[in-house]
Structure 1
Amino acid sequence: MKPADVCLAVLVAVIWGLAFVLSRIALNELSPALMTALRFSIAAAPCLVVRRPKVSWPVLISISFTLFLGQFLAQSYGMALGVPVGLTSVIVQSQALFTIGLAAILFGERPSWRQALGIAIAAAGLLMICGTVGYDFSVSAFAVLMISPISFAAGNLLLRQARGVPMFDLSVWLCLIAAVPLLALALAGDGVQPTWQALSHMSLAVLSCLLGIGLVSTCLAYWLWNRLLHDYPAAQVVPFALLVPFVGSAASSIVFHETFGPLRLAGMLTVIFGIAVMVLSKPRQAAAEAVRA
Structure 2
Amino acid sequence: MPASHFLLLLFICLVWAGNFIAAAWAVQTMEPITFTVVRFSLVLLLLLPLLRFPARRQWLLLVSCCWTMGAIHFGLIFFALGRSADVSSIALLMQIYIPMSTLLAVLVLGERIGWRTTTGILVSFSGVLIMGLDPLVLAQIDVLLLVLASALSLATGTILMRRLQGISVLNFQAWNALLSVVPLALLALWFEDPIQGIPASFSAPDVWLAVAYSAIGASIIGHGGFYWLIQRHEVNRITPYLLLVPILAVLLGVLFWGDRPGPRLLSGGALVLAGVLWITLRARWRRRPRIPKPAPPSP
**TM-score higher than 0.5:** yes
State the Cα distance separating 1:154 from its structure 2 match.
0.9
- Shifted more, 233-242 versus 277-286: the winner is 233-242
Give the Cα–Cα distance (whole angstroms) in 1 for the partners of residues 234 and 155 of structure 2: 14
Query: Is 1:18 the counterpart of 2:18 in the alignment?
Result: yes
Q: How many residues align?
A: 288
Tell me which residue corresponds to 2:212.
211
User: Which residue in the other structure is 2:40 paired with?
Assistant: 40
Structure 1 contact 47–173 (Cα < 8 Å) conserved: no
CA contact (8 A) 2:66 2:180 kept: yes
C-alpha distance in 1, partners of 2:47/2:88? 33
Matched residue type, 1:37 = V
2:161 is matched with 159
Distance in 2 separating the partners of 1:278 and 1:2: 26
CA distance in 2, matches of 1:230, 1:151: 26
Greater shift, 2-11 or 142-151, is seen at 2-11
Q: Secondary structure at the match of 1:146?
A: helix
Q: 5+ unaligned residues in a row in structure 2: which ranges? A: 291-299
Task: Structure 1: give runs of 5+ residues left out of the alignment.
Answer: none
The residue that corresponds to 1:105 in the other structure is 107
Alignment check: 8 A CA contact 2:21 2:87 kept: yes
Are positions 1:146 and 2:159 aligned together? Answer: no
The 10-residue stretch of structure 1 (210-219 or 264-273) with the greater mean CA deviation from structure 2: 264-273
Alignment check: 8 A CA contact 2:92 2:272 kept: no
Residues 230, 185 of structure 1: alpha-carbon distance in 2 compared, 3 angstrom cutoff: farther
Shift of 1:192: 5.5
2:259 aligns to what? 258
CA drift at 1:35: 0.6
What's the counterpart of residue 81 of structure 1? Answer: 83
Aligned counterparts of 1:277 and 1:36: Cα–Cα separation in 2: 33
Shift of 1:57: 3.2
User: CA 1:61–1:185 in structure 2 vs 1: closer, same or farther (change >3 Å)?
Assistant: same
Task: Return the offset for 1:135.
Answer: 4.2
Give 3-state SS (helix, strand or coil) of 1:161's partner. Answer: coil
TM-score where L is the length of structure 2: 0.78
Structure exhibiting the larger radius of gyration computed from Cα positions: 2
* Cα distance in 1, alignment partners of residues 9 and 124 from structure 2: 17
Instruction: Mark the CA change 1:181 to 1:263 in structure 2 (over 3 Å): closer, same or farther.
Output: closer
Report matched runs for 1:140-289 at 5 Å.
140-191=142-193, 193-201=195-203, 203-223=204-224, 242-281=243-282, 286-288=287-289
Deviation, structure 1 residue 170: 1.4
Return the alpha-carbon distance in structure 2 between the equivalents of residues 123 and 229 of structure 1: 28
Give the TM-score taking structure 1 as reference length: 0.79
Identity of aligned residues (%): 21
User: Which digits, 9 at most, give the CA deviation of each residue in 1:155-191, with x for residues without a partner?
Assistant: 1111123223222211222122212332333234333
Secondary structure of the residue that 2:99 maps to in structure 1?
Answer: helix
How large is the RMSD of aligned CA atoms in angstroms?
A: 3.7
Amino acid across the alignment from 1:35: F
